[in-house]
Structures are given as C-alpha cells and as structure tokens.
Chain A
C-alpha cells in the first residue's frame, strides 16, 4: 500500500482494562487532577448501581461529587446540555467529569465538560471543527457498551432537535484523559444492543481503513479491530455473560475508536447520522444496515483495503484482491446475519418518503469528505437507500 504524502496520528487517552477496574475511577480521577466531580450517566446504568460505585470510589479518593446526572437520553440535544451545564454551575461548578454509559452519555459529558471548562453557549460559541486551543478540564470515561469508541475519540455527536440532524463537534481536546474498560459493566447489555454497538465498532474500523485520509498507524489498528470483532461479536451476542468475549469487544471498540478518530470515517456514517436524525434509528443499527451497500458503492475505489479487511475476517487470499474484497463484503453480511440484526431499512421504520430528506441531510455531513469515492449528488445516496430498503 502506498504511503500517504503526509499524516499525523495522536492518542490522548490513557486506557485501563480489567475486570473490576470500575472501582479505580476515584484514584484515576485524582491522578487526572480533579477535586469536584460531575458524574453523568443514564437511568439504566444508575439502576444497575454502577453510578453509585463510581460516586463511592470518587469520595473514597477525596473527590467531592457535585452532582450525579442520570437522565441522558438516546440522543442529547444542545438545550439539554446547556441546561445541565447551567445547573452544575449554580452548584459551584465541577473541575472533572466522569461519564459512565454508552455513546450518548460519553458525548454529552464531553460537551458539558467543554462548557464547564470554557463557558459560553454550546452552539453559538463552540460549533465548528478543531476550534479549541488548549486542553479542557480532565474527563474519565467508562463505556458500558462496546461500539462507540467515544472513550478515546476527539468527536461528540449531538442531535439538533430543530433541524432533525446530528451535529458533530471535533477537537483532540475532547478526548477523555482516561478510559476505564471494565468488561463487568457490559455483561448485562441485551443481545440487540450488543449487536448494534458491535456493528458500530466494525463500521468504525472498516471506514477508518477505507478513509481517504487513512494512514499506516490507523490501518494497523483498524485491521486488528476487525479481526477481534469478527471473532468475538457473535460470541458476545449469543452469550452475554462471556467475560472473554465482552472484554475482547470492549478493547476492539476502543482500538477502532483510536483508528477512526485519526483517519475519519465515510459515507456509511454520513448516512447513518441522517437516518438517526430523521428516522430515530439507533446509530449502530443504522451503520449496520448501510455498511455492506456502501462497501459495494466504494469497492472500485478501495479494492486493496477491502481485500485487507476480508483477510482480517478470515478470507483466504486467492491472488485476486478484487475477488477477495467482494468475498469480504459477503463476510460482513454473514456477520450481520449472525448477530440477528435487521438487514432492511423498512424493518426499522424508515419510509421511502424520508429518502429525499435523508439524502439531502447526508450531503451536509462532514464524513462524506473522507469517503474514498466522491459522492457527486444526493441522487447517489437515494440509490443506496433504495438498495438497503
């Protein structure tokens, strides 16, 4: 594979893995320099008692818990984040944020941490790309799903409730200081969510690999993640209590996160963001529905990369990379089938009447810029949606 003329790679997050590492959050928060913590989570995680474990660990380390916010929805809005920030500010603020939950919880926390660090209005003052000039307050992230990669990424995605679209915020300074990967906190994840989030991780890895700004470091990470996800996602879906499979998936998701936050993603994510915003389909599932069709769309433009992906999924090289790449796409479909996820847009409530809106919104998604094949107009997106319907 040819070397890119230029690339940069960075990882700003300390990653800790191990069963029971959740209870080390207090010490890690202290090491990161926090004294007053905001804990952000959702109702399910709170009910399972993990938020309480985090709070106790923080207090044991001498850190004041200013607030535990446990009402993060599937897609946070800018209004919700701004309100949470104002509420914490009234309590004297917080100098460290601890997030325990899925992608929405982690992304919400990144944005609240941005406001607690720099103040202002989220949309008026902070919308853009790579705007931040200095590190924010420290943040510790504890993912309870294995897919988002948000525990190590530079991005946060929230929902614009007025425009029905997802808004991305990007800066290396959004990456948490510490990510704690404790497989125990993922054991209760139901099969459907395990499958959807796992396919999100696979999509991150494949899109990192085919990205127009991919580079050797992220390629190596992406291929490693694809190998792990192909082997362990079906196991984690079938046997949720399998700690080995849960651990492998958590690590694979983090690796894929490091890969794609450096090399970016492509058309699959661009469409998935729009499907999520307009039809309310969960992000991982939307990625899964579009991934094989978009790979076919890109195939001629990144044949070697898809062949590499196929080999990582166990395809034996035939000497014909183009044929191997096609076999690789079939392997992706096979994996989706093993997870039991729906394979048609119509099965998840997307209607043909929404195609125009989804396609037009997709054309404004930044992920399109790094897709290996230029999307010429929204008609090409509609064609992809028809195929996936």
Chain B
C-alpha cells in the first residue's frame, strides 16, 4: 500500500500540515523570518508545495515565482523527512533529496523545520493515518 494514493491525496495530507506549521507560533514566525521562497518538488505522486516566506503563504502547485531554494524528493522520502527518519546528509549523497540553490540559506532553514518532526506524527494520528508512522517501507 503506498503512503499516498495520488497527487490529490498527497496535497490533502501535506498542505494542511504545512499550514499547521505556518500557524504554529513557535515555528511559523521563525520560518517566515528567513525571507526565503522554498519549493518542495515531489514525485510518485507528482506535487509541488512552496513556502513563500515574504508573503507568508503556502502555495500548492506550479507557480511563476522563482524559488530561492528547491528540494526535490519522492513523496515517500518526504514522508520520512517529516517524520524525522531521514538523514539529510545521507539523502543528499544518495540523491534521494536534490537541493538546488544557496546551501547556507537551506542550512539555516533545516534546524527550524526539525522542530516540526514530532508534529507530523501527531498530525497523522489525528487524520487517521497512524499506520503510516511506522509502516512506510
């Protein structure tokens, strides 16, 4: 069983989660203060989610705006990433994650995102996807 059935399912899980991060008083302001436009490009299923920090919005799908940094990965890798089960260094060397753009900007952002790992597992429980917290292989 795949983690996400299709693009629509993926968006229905991840976009509300991104918005949850945006609205979290401990995480949202820190991420937005980076001033970056960070784009996540997913495959299997294909999807694009962009965090537009200057405008404080989460955007689903293609956009005209050029991202400061983009991170490409499969949806399964993204799932592991948000669960905090992915070593980003190893994922980069294995090309499971492809990071394009100024690395210093990305490196400043990743520790902020780290705070949200626990939130993703809790969120999955809330939306009835508890089985996907450990069963993602």
Inter-chain CA distance A167–B105, complex, in Å, is 11
Beta-carbon nearest neighbor of B108 in chain A:
A364
- Which residues from chain A contact B89 at a C-beta distance below 8 Å? 212-213, 264, 369-370
Contact of B90 among A165, A168, A213 (CB under 8 A): A213
B63 interface residue (CB < 8 Å to A):
no
Inter-chain CA distance A129–B73, complex, in Å, is 13
Contact of B101 among A8, A128, A364, A370 (CB under 8 A): A128
Contacts A213-B89, A264-B89, A370-B89 known; A8 to B103 CB distance under 8 Å? no
Flag the segment in B16-24, B41-49, B91-99, B120-128 that touches A: B91-99
- Which residues from chain B contact A167 at a C-beta distance below 8 Å? 102-104
**What 1/0 flags go to A232-276 for Cβ under 8 Å of B?**
000000000000000000000000000000001000000000000
- Which residues from chain A contact B95 at a C-beta distance below 8 Å? 130
A365 interface residue (CB < 8 Å to B):
yes
Beta-carbon nearest neighbor of A211 in chain B:
B89
Beta-carbon nearest neighbor of A375 in chain B:
B111
Contacts A6-B90, A130-B93 known; A364 to B100 CB distance under 8 Å? no
Beta-carbon nearest neighbor of A263 in chain B:
B89
Complex contact A165–B104 (CB within 8 A)? yes
Interface residues of B in 7-46 (CB under 8 A from A): none
- Which residues from chain B contact A370 at a C-beta distance below 8 Å? 89
Contact of B99 among A123, A128, A363 (CB under 8 A): A128
B1 interface residue (CB < 8 Å to A):
no
A81 to chain B minimum Cβ distance, whole angstroms, is 16
Contacts A128-B99, A130-B98 known; A361 to B104 CB distance under 8 Å? yes
B23 to chain A minimum Cβ distance, whole angstroms, is 24
Complex contact B92–A130 (CB within 8 A)? yes
B107 interface residue (CB < 8 Å to A):
yes
A131 interface residue (CB < 8 Å to B):
yes
Contact of B100 among A131, A212, A363, A368 (CB under 8 A): A131
- Which residues from chain A contact B103 at a C-beta distance below 8 Å? 127-129, 167-168, 364, 366
- Which residues from chain A contact B57 at a C-beta distance below 8 Å? none
B88 interface residue (CB < 8 Å to A):
yes
Interface residues of A in 345-375 (CB under 8 A from B): 361, 363-366, 368-370
Beta-carbon nearest neighbor of B105 in chain A:
A364
- Which residues from chain B contact A213 at a C-beta distance below 8 Å? 87, 89-90
Beta-carbon nearest neighbor of B103 in chain A:
A366
- Which residues from chain A contact B108 at a C-beta distance below 8 Å? 363-364
Complex contact B92–A365 (CB within 8 A)? no
Contact of A366 among B98, B100, B101, B107 (CB under 8 A): B107
Inter-chain CA distance A63–B50, complex, in Å, is 49
Beta-carbon nearest neighbor of A368 in chain B:
B107
A62 to chain B minimum Cβ distance, whole angstroms, is 37
Q: Which of A130, A361, A365 has the most CB of B within 10 A?
A: A130
**What 1/0 flags go to A158-187 for Cβ under 8 Å of B?**
000001010110100000000000000000
Inter-chain CA distance A363–B100, complex, in Å, is 19
B5 to chain A minimum Cβ distance, whole angstroms, is 29
- Which residues from chain B contact A365 at a C-beta distance below 8 Å? 104, 107
Inter-chain CA distance A165–B101, complex, in Å, is 15
A276 to chain B minimum Cβ distance, whole angstroms, is 14
A174 to chain B minimum Cβ distance, whole angstroms, is 13
Interface residues of B in 35-79 (CB under 8 A from A): none
Beta-carbon nearest neighbor of B102 in chain A:
A127
Complex contact A364–B93 (CB within 8 A)? no
B107 to chain A minimum Cβ distance, whole angstroms, is 5
Beta-carbon nearest neighbor of A363 in chain B:
B108
Contacts A8-B94, A129-B92, A130-B93 known; A369 to B102 CB distance under 8 Å? no
Contact of A364 among B94, B99, B104 (CB under 8 A): B104
Query: A: which residues have CB within 8 A of B?
Result: 6, 8, 123, 127-131, 163, 165, 167-168, 170, 212-213, 264, 361, 363-366, 368-370
A-B contact pairs, 8 of them (CB 8 A): A6-B90, A127-B103, A128-B101, A129-B103, A163-B104, A264-B89, A364-B105, A366-B104
Could you list 7 further interchain pairs (A-B, Cβ under 8 angstroms) beyond the known A163-B104, A366-B107?
A127-B101, A128-B100, A128-B103, A129-B99, A130-B92, A213-B87, A364-B104
Query: 6 closest Cβ contacts across the A-B interface?
Result: A364-B104, A128-B100, A364-B108, A129-B92, A364-B107, A129-B99
